[in-house]
C-alpha cells in the first residue's frame, strides 16, 4: 500500500469516528427508549402499542436517512480533509495530484506556477520561538487565500514554501495577486516588531515561450531564488546603513532603493520622490535642548513610516528627510493634499509646543517621469522644489519646468563661478552708512556684484544662495575681504583717512571657523589695517541657528580687536533672545521694521527697540531708509546711523572719493575730513 492510500485510510478512519460512531450511538439510545416504552405499556391496548411502534419506526427511518446522506458525502469530506493542512490550504499530496493532472493535459497555454518562500523563518524560530514562526506561516497562508481568486490552486509543500497554480491566467493577474500579498504583509509589519518578508517567483506558459509543467516549476523556482537573494542582499546591505536615531535608511542606501524599485517595476508603477526639511530646526535645539529636537525627529520619522503610500524613507542628514512614494492609481492632487495635511498638522503642533512660527516643515516633490534618470538627480529635483517652498514660506512645492530653469541658472553659477572669480568678474560695491545728526559718513558696507562686459551680469540674489548651498561662498567672501583690505591700505598709502568698512560673514564659515580666523590674520599682517576700521556682520538667523559656534567666532574676532555687528535684526525671530549675552557691538535693524510710509505701530515698535538697545549701550544702524519721513523719525529717536537708498544706492568701491565729494557739497562739509 502506498503512502497516499495509507494517508487516505487514516483520514477516513478519523472521520468515521467523528461522524458514524456518534450517529449509531444516538440511534441505539433512541431504540432503547422505545423498547422500554413498549415494555412499560405491555398492558395497554393494541392501538397504543401500534402507535408506539410507529413512532419508533419513524425515528429509526429518520436516523437511517441521515446516515445515508452522511455516507453519500463521506468520500468528498475525506478527500477535502486529507488534502488540506492545518493552515487551511492544500497539502503537498494534493499538489502532486494536481501536477499529475496537468502533466496529462494536451496544452498548458495560460497556465502559471507561482512559488513563494518566507524569508528567514529558521531565524524567527530560533530567536523568537516557534509560536512566532507558526504565526508567520498561518498569516501568510491567510494572505494567500485572500489575494488569490478561487481558480488559483494554492498548496503548501514545505515548512515555509507555498505554491499556486492557475490555468487560464495572465502575467498581470499574477502581479496583482503579488501586490495584494505585499500590501497584506506591509500592514502586518506596521504592527509587528518582527518583520515578515517573502520571496516570489513565477513562470507562465505562453505561445512565445511554451513550457511543460516541470519546466514551469523549474523556472518559477529559479526566479523565486533570484528574488530571495536580491531581497536578502538588499536587507543585509540596507540594515547595515540605517540612521541610528530614527531607524530610517541613510542617504546612500535610499538612493540604491530608488534605483532598485525602478528597475524592478519599470513602467508598471508610478513613483515620486519627496524631500522634507525643517526650517530653523536649530532654534528647537537651542531653546528646548537636543533631546527635544531628537524626539521631534523620531516622531516625524514615525509619521513617514505610517503613510500607506510611502515605500521607504531616509534621513538624509540633520533635519532633512526623503521618501519614495508609490503613487500608482493616485492623482497628483491627492498626493499633494495628503502631504499638505501632514505638514499642516505637524506645523500646528510645533507652533503650540514651541510657541514659534519659525520652526516649520517644507516639502518638495518630484514626480518620476523618466526612469532612466539617476536616482540622485531625482532626489536633487525634489530638494530643489523643497527650497522653493521654503523660500516662499509654503508647505509644499512640486518640481516644475520653472524650477528646472532656476536649477539650470544655479548650475550655470556653480560651474562658471571659479572661472569668473579668477577673471575678476566680481567687483566690490559699497553702500555708505551715515551719521544723521552730524550729516557725516561713518563708513560703508561692502557688497559684491557680478560684472561681465562692463555691465552687471547678476545681482547678489541670483548667485549668493547657490554659492551658499555648495560652499563656494567662502571663496567669494575671501575675495571681497582681500579687495577691501587692499583698498584701505591704498587709502592709507595716499595719506587718506581710513574708512570703517563692514564685511559680511556667510553661515558657511561657522563650519570652518579656524580657516576664517587664520585668513583674517593673514590680511591684517599683509596690509597692516587697524582692526578698529573693520566690522564683521553676522545675520540674526545665522546666529540663532548655530549660537554656540557663532559666539565662539565672535569671541575670537573680539580678541583680534574687531567689532561685530548683528545684521537683519528682527527679520528672523523678532525676539531679543539673541542679545542676551551682549556679545554684539552693533545692531543693524532690518528694513522689515520700516515701511515706505512708516505707521504709528511701526513707530511704537521702533521706539521700544531703539530705547532698549541704547540702554544696552549698543550702536544702532537702521537699514532700508528711503524717504525723509523715515529719516526724520529715526533722527528724532537718536538712531546712531542710517543706511539706505535715501543717501545712496550701492556703487563701486572705486567711486568712493567721488561720492565723498558730492556728499560733502550737498551737506556743506569738508571732503578731506574723510
- Domain match, 49 and 93 both: no
What is the predicted pLDDT for the residue at 66? 58
What is the predicted pLDDT for the residue at 588? 94
What are the backbone angles phi and psi of residue 495, rounded to the nearest 5°?
65, 30
Domain boundary among 31, 48, 81: 81
619 alpha-carbon distance from chain centroid: 44
Smallest Cα–Cα separation from 503: which of 429, 594, 451, 609? Answer: 429
In 157-250, which ranges are continuous DSSP H helix?
A: 171-190, 213-239
User: Domain for residue 235, yes or no?
Assistant: no
Smallest Cα–Cα separation from 523: which of 543, 503, 544? Answer: 503
Q: Are the CB atoms for 360 and 352 separated by under 8 Å?
A: no
Sorted by sequence, the CB contacts under 8 Å of residue 55 that are 6+ apart come out as: 34
- Domain match, 186 and 118 both: yes
Long-range CB contacts (< 8 A, 24+ apart) of 398-406?
398/332, 398/336, 398/364, 398/365, 398/366, 398/367, 399/364, 399/365, 399/366, 399/367
**Cα distance between residue 473 and residue 467, in whole Å:** 5
- Domain match, 517 and 604 both: yes
User: Domain for residue 671, yes or no?
Assistant: no
CB atoms near residue 538 (< 10 Å):
26
- Domain match, 133 and 278 both: no
- Domain match, 45 and 193 both: no
User: Domain for residue 246, yes or no?
Assistant: no
Buried b / exposed e along 79-108 (16+ C-beta atoms within 10 A): eeebbebebebbbebbbeebbeebeeeeeb
- CATH code for the domain of 288: 3.30.70.270
| CA 129 to each of CA 121, 125, 160, 195, 372: distance values in angstroms, whole numbers, following the listed order | 10, 4, 15, 14, 45
What is the predicted pLDDT for the residue at 605? 84
- Domain match, 50 and 151 both: no
Domain boundary among 22, 47, 81: 81
What is the predicted pLDDT for the residue at 6? 46
What are the backbone angles phi and psi of residue 536, rounded to the nearest 5°?
-95, 135
Q: Are the CB atoms for 531 and 475 separated by under 8 Å?
A: no
Handedness of CA 631, 633, 635, 638 (dihedral sign): negative
- Domain match, 638 and 491 both: yes
User: Domain for residue 154, yes or no?
Assistant: yes
Q: Consecutive 10-residue runs of the chain (674 residues): their mean pLDDT?
A: 45 53 59 58 53 58 55 48 77 90 89 92 86 92 91 88 93 91 85 81 88 91 88 65 85 88 83 93 82 89 81 92 92 91 87 75 94 91 91 89 83 94 97 94 97 95 91 97 98 94 96 96 97 96 86 97 92 56 86 76 86 91 92 92 95 94 67 44
- Domain match, 52 and 185 both: no
Q: Using DSSP, how many helices (H) and how many strands (E) does the chain show?
A: 22, 19
- Domain match, 223 and 95 both: yes
- Domain match, 340 and 457 both: no
User: Domain for residue 275, yes or no?
Assistant: yes
Domain membership of residue 431 as a residue range: 411-657
Sorted by sequence, the CB contacts under 8 Å of residue 115 that are 6+ apart come out as: 161, 162, 163, 200, 201, 202, 217, 220, 221, 223, 224
User: Domain for residue 133, yes or no?
Assistant: yes
The alpha carbon torsion through 408, 411, 417, 419 (nearest 10 deg) reads -90
- Domain match, 367 and 496 both: no
- Domain match, 281 and 426 both: no
Q: How many domains does the chain have?
A: 4
Q: Hey, what's the cell of 635?
A: 533722527
- 445's enclosing H/E stretch is strand 440-452
The CA-CA-CA angle for residues 127, 133, 136, to 5°, reads 130
Q: Hey, what's the cell of 523?
A: 590680511
User: Domain for residue 244, yes or no?
Assistant: no
Query: pTM to 2 decimals?
Result: 0.54
Task: Quickly list DSSP for 566-594.
Answer: EEEETTSS-SSGGGTT---SEEEE-GGG-
Domain boundary among 228, 259, 292: 228
- CATH code for the domain of 432: 3.20.20.450
Question: Residue written as cell 560695491?
Answer: 429
What is the predicted pLDDT for the residue at 78? 45
User: Domain for residue 236, yes or no?
Assistant: no
Amino acid at each position: 500500500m502506498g503512502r497516499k492510500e495509507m494517508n487516505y485510510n487514516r483520514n477516513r478512519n478519523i472521520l468515521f469516528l467523528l461522524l458514524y460512531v456518534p450517529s449509531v450511538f444516538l440511534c441505539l439510545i433512541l431504540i432503547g427508549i422505545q423498547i422500554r416504552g413498549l415494555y412499560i405499556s405491555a398492558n395497554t391496548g393494541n392501538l397504543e402499542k401500534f402507535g408506539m411502534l410507529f413512532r419508533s419506526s419513524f425515528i429509526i427511518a429518520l436516523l437511517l436517512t441521515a446516515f445515508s446522506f452522511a455516507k453519500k458525502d463521506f468520500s468528498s469530506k475525506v478527500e477535502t480533509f486529507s488534502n488540506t493542512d492545518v493552515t487551511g490550504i492544500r497539502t503537498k499530496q494534493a499538489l502532486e495530484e494536481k501536477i499529475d493532472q496537468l502533466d496529462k493535459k494536451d496544452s498548458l497555454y495560460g497556465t502559471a506556477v507561482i512559488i513563494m518562500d518566507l524569508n528567514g523563518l529558521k531565524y524567527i524560530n530560533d530567536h523568537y520561538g516557534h509560536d512566532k514562526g507558526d504565526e508567520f506561516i498561518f498569516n501568510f497562508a491567510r494572505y494567500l487565500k485572500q489575494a488569490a481568486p478561487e481558480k488559483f490552486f494554492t498548496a503548501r509543500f514545505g515548512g515555509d514554501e507555498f505554491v499556486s497554480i492557475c490555468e487560464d491566467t495572465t502575467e498581470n493577474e499574477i502581479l496583482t495577486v503579488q501586490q495584494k500579498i505585499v500590501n497584506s504583509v506591509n500592514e502586518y509589519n506596521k504592527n509587528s516588531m518582527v518583520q515578515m518578508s517573502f520571496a516570489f517567483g513565477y513562470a507562465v506558459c505562453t505561445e512565445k515561450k511554451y513550457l511543460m509543467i516541470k519546466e514551469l516549476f523549474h523556472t518559477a523556482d529559479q526566479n523565486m531564488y533570484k528574488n530571495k537573494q536580491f531581497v536578502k542582499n538588499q536587507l543585509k546591505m540596507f540594515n547595515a546603513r540605517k540612521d541610528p536615531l530614527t531607524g530610517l535608511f541613510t542617504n546612500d542606501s535610499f538612493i540604491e532603493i530608488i534605483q532598485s524599485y525602478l528597475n524592478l517595476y519599470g513602467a508598471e508603477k508610478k513613483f515620486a520622490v519627496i524631500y522634507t526639511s525643517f526650517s530653523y530646526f536649530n532654534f528647537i535645539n537651542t531653546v528646548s535642548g537636543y533631546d527635544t529636537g531628537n524626539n521631534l525627529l523620531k516622531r516625524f520619522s514615525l509619521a513617514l513610516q505610517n503613510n500607506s503610500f510611502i515605500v521607504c524613507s531616509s534621513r538624509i542628514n540633520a533635519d532633512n528627510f526623503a521618501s519614495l512614494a508609490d503613487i500608482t492609481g493616485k492623482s497628483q492632487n491627492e498626493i499633494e493634499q495628503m502631504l499638505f495635511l501632514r505638514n499642516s498638522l505637524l506645523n500646528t503642533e510645533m507652533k503650540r509646543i514651541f510657541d514659534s512660527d519659525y520652526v516649520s516643515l517644507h516639502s518638495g516633490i518630484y514626480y518620476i517621469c523618466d526612469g532612466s534618470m539617476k536616482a540622485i538627480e531625482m532626489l536633487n529635483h525634489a530638494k530643489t522644489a523643497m527650497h522653493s517652498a521654503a523660500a516662499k514660506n509654503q508647505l509644499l512645492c512640486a518640481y516644475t519646468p520653472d524650477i528646472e530653469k532656476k536649477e539650470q541658472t544655479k548650475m550655470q553659477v556653480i560651474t562658471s563661478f571659479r572661472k569668473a572669480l579668477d577673471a575678476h568678474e566680481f567687483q566690490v560695491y559699497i553702500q555708505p552708512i551715515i551719521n544723521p545728526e552730524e550729516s557725516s559718513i561713518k563708513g560703508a558696507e561692502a557688497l559684491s556684484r557680478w560684472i561681465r562686459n562692463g555691465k552687471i551680469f547678476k545681482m547678489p540674489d541670483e548667485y549668493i544662495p547657490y554659492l551658499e548651498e555648495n560652499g563656494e561662498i567662502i571663496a567669494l567672501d575671501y575675495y571681497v575681504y582681500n579687495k577691501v583690505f587692499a583698498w584701505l591700505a591704498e587709502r592709507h598709502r595716499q595719506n587718506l583717512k581710513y574708512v570703517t568698512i563692514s564685511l559680511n560673514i556667510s553661515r558657511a564659515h561657522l563650519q570652518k571657523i579656524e580657516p576664517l580666523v587664520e585668513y583674517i590674520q593673514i590680511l591684517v599682517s599683509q596690509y597692516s589695517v587697524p582692526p578698529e576700521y573693520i566690522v564683521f556682520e553676522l545675520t540674526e538667523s545665522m546666529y540663532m541657528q548655530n549660537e554656540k559656534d557663532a559666539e565662539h567666532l565672535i569671541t575670537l574676532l573680539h580678541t583680534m580687536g574687531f567689532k561685530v555687528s548683528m545684521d537683519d535684526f528682527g527679520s528672523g525671530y523678532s525676539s531679543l533672545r539673541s542679545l542676551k549675552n551682549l556679545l554684539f557691538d552693533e545692531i543693524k535693524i532690518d528694513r522689515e521694521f520700516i515701511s515706505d510710509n512708516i505707521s504709528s505701530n511701526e513707530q511704537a515698535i521702533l521706539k521700544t527697540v531703539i530705547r532698549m538697545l541704547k540702554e544696552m549701550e549698543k550702536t544702532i544702524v537702521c537699514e532700508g531708509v528711503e524717504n525723509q519721513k523715515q529719516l526724520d523719525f529715526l533722527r528724532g529717536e537718536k538712531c546712531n546711523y542710517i543706511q539706505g537708498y535715501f543717501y545712496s544706492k550701492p556703487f563701486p568701491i572705486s567711486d568712493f572719493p567721488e561720492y565723498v565729494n558730492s556728499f560733502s557739497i550737498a551737506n556743506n562739509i569738508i571732503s578731506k575730513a574723510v
